[in-house]
Amino acid sequence: MIFEKLQSEGQKHSEVRVRISTELVQLLSDQLYQSPLKAIEELVVNSYDAGARVCRLFVPDSSELAREGGRKFVAVFDNGTGISAGRMLDLWHVGTSNKRTEEVRRRSIRKQIGKFGIGKLATYTIANNLTYISKTAQGVLTGTLDFSRFKSDPSGGAEQPIDVPVLKVRDWDVFSKDNAVQEVFDASGVTAADLASPSWTLALLENLKPKASDIKLGTLNWVLRTAMPLKSDFTLFLNNEEVKSAKEDYDVEASFKVNELPPERIKALNEQEADGWRIEGDAVYSKTFPQGIRGSVMVTARTLPGKKSDDLARSNGFFVKVLGRLINQEEPFFGMTHLHYGTFNRFRANIEADDLDQIITAPREGVGLGDMRAKFEDFLVEVFQEARGRYQRFEEEKSSAEQRKKEQSRSFVSANLIEYPIAGALTHTPVQSGAEPDNSWFYLDTSTPELQAVANRLYTSPRKRFRYEYLGFGRSARLV
């Protein structure tokens, strides 16, 4: 066990006393986090919250766990901000999370997902030992929580606290060459370049429980794919294979680059406020934007918002980069008046405008008000209107093609009115629990692979003839 080697090799830096009720650990892990998949997902979210660009995950399958000498551990490596000594102590506090402090909010490049500091307890579901090894400017620090040390007091007294030492690895270069450590890095796909990063963190689960064998890699891959936003700056690998967003499989009904805007769009920009808008090469230029504006636009058949990926980052709207930095992660409309949702929920525009660096506001990398911003917003509106026009023309052509079919094979009702709204509901509905006061209604859990497969068929399968009728059940009846 690596955590045992660390106890003997590490030099004590500090210590935190942890008191957690055994019943609380079991409640949180066995009830709130029943699925072993949730434990893995929580660790990946921690990597995202740490500002990591790359997260490398290793999870053994059942054959690996059954094999003599198999790799019986779960590892999550990321190149995020790392865990300092102070944060290593805070790590074991339950019910609070320093992710929400002003300091972390100021340093973070993303909205933070973890809030209550209980996600780490989800690992109790599949392992007895959770170890963090992290590199920062303070060196390589480590701390291990051994869940098996929490014992109930048979007399009914208070739970006995345990001490969790924070250790500094004395000679990381030597320790990292240990065969067991190398096996973890090899399994996770961690490279020398990853370890050379200024900061990184490895979360290691050892002494796995029988429930770990319930993890099906195919299902885990599906869970992670649905949790990944489209074209994010966060790259995730599972057992050395990149996990791509499920939204990358969506059909694209319209796409173009900004330098393909038709002349009437450029003319409209110059009529609003003459700024010498023109297309040259791969960019659109003006007096205000001498370095040019570049980018690409697409409109998908399926709506992009929804699913768990929205917790990490949105997938639709305008994504504006200045000198390679995304400056509007939480503003899909770029602060403008909301646009037509029928198109906007399917719309994604990746825009590069380095001239905006002149008006970047430092605290949150926002863009200040003024003439340059107003002209840029005018440009974005024309980009969106072009996307909306192309999408509507595609839909009209699809409808016309339907009308030209023989009567026996024609779909009499547009999929936009039947299949797509139902599929959208299955995609967007949050998982809730409980019943309404009259005890006659329970919420549907739409997060299961089976229902997501139904949604996918509704979006993609050929139409079949069907009949329908409107029935009035009264104003207070359920709408089904």
Q: How confident is the model at residue 114 (pLDDT cuts 50, 70, 90)?
A: very low
Alpha carbon distance 273, 291 (integer Å): 19
Q: Would you say how long the chain is, in residues? A: 480
- CB 299 within 8 Å of CB 216: no
Split into its structural domains, the chain has a count of 3
Does residue 197 register a pLDDT over 80?
yes
Does residue 143 register a pLDDT over 60?
yes
Q: Please give the pLDDT value at position 388.
A: 92
Does residue 345 register a pLDDT over 60?
yes
Domain identity same for 344 and 364: yes
Alpha carbon distance 43, 32 (integer Å): 15
Selection from 262-271, 387-396, 434-443 with the highest mean pLDDT: 262-271
Q: How confident is the model at residue 33 (pLDDT cuts 50, 70, 90)?
A: low
Q: How confident is the model at residue 182 (pLDDT cuts 50, 70, 90)?
A: very high
- CB 283 within 8 Å of CB 293: yes
Bigger pLDDT: 159 or 458? Answer: 458
Give the pLDDT mean for 452-457.
80
- CB 209 within 8 Å of CB 127: yes
Does residue 420 register a pLDDT over 70?
yes
Angle at 257 between CA 256 and CA 259, to 5 degrees: 130
The alpha carbon of 230 is separated from its chain's Cα centroid by a whole number of angstroms, namely 9
Domain identity same for 240 and 254: no
Q: Please give the pLDDT value at position 147.
A: 79
Residue 348 lies in a domain: yes
Residue 467 lies in a domain: no
Domain identity same for 291 and 334: yes
Specify the pairing of strand 74-78 against strand 325-326.
unpaired
Amino acid identity of residue 297, one-letter, is: V
Give the pLDDT mean for 402-424.
68
Residue 125 lies in a domain: yes
Does residue 62 register a pLDDT over 80?
yes
Residue 93 lies in a domain: yes
Q: Which of 108-112, 172-176, 332-336, 445-449 has the lowest mean pLDDT?
A: 108-112
Domain identity same for 385 and 268: yes
Domain identity same for 263 and 355: yes
Domain identity same for 34 and 179: yes
Domain identity same for 163 and 191: yes
Going by C-beta distance under 8 Å and a sequence separation of 6 or more, which residues neighbour residue 216?
A: 61
Specify the pairing of strand 54-58 against strand 235-238.
parallel
Q: Please give the pLDDT value at position 75.
A: 95
Q: Cα dihedral sign for 455, 457, 460, 465?
A: negative
Mean pLDDT score across all residues of the chain: 78
Residue spans of alpha helices (H) in 110-178: 172-175
Angle at 217 between CA 241 and CA 222, to 5 degrees: 80
Q: Cα dihedral sign for 408, 410, 413, 415?
A: positive
The whole domain housing 425 covers 407-460
Alpha carbon distance 169, 135 (integer Å): 10
